[in-house]
Amino acid sequence: MSLRNVWNSFLKETSPTHLPNKNISEILSGITNVGSFYSFILDIHELSISNIVGDFEKIHGIFPENITLDAIFSLIHPDDLEFIAKADAKLLSMFYNELGPE
């Protein structure tokens, strides 16, 4: 099981959501973080990453402007990939089956 397979299984049932153009810092301003952190928006329809904020470069030594989805995958320990794919499958299933995409 891979993350791309998990995402692709849900993409068959959905269409892209167009979110308002809002600064991710505004959205995250109400969340308290202790220590170094970063966040980003992952568009599984486009398989792209945007709006990286926080300490990405400090934590990984990679400029956020140069990051790609494949680079993110390369940062995950190989022994953790299956767990992450299963966690994403559970999250997406709960999201679509219990909350609904709308």
Residue 11 has pLDDT above 80, yes or no: no
89 and 1 Cβ atoms separated by less than 8 Å: yes
The Cβ-side half-sphere exposure at 96, using a 13 Å CA radius, reads 14
Q: What are phi and psi of 28, to 5 degrees?
A: -85, -5
For the chain, count helices (H), then strands (E). Answer: 5, 2
The whole model's pTM is what?
0.56
- Please, what is the average pLDDT of the chain? 79
Q: Is residue 17 part of a domain?
A: no
Q: Is residue 31 part of a domain?
A: no
Residue 45 has pLDDT above 60, yes or no: yes
The Cβ-side half-sphere exposure at 81, using a 13 Å CA radius, reads 14
Q: Is residue 16 part of a domain?
A: no
- Give residue 46's pLDDT: 84
Q: Is residue 78 part of a domain?
A: yes
Q: Is residue 22 part of a domain?
A: no
Q: Is residue 71 part of a domain?
A: yes
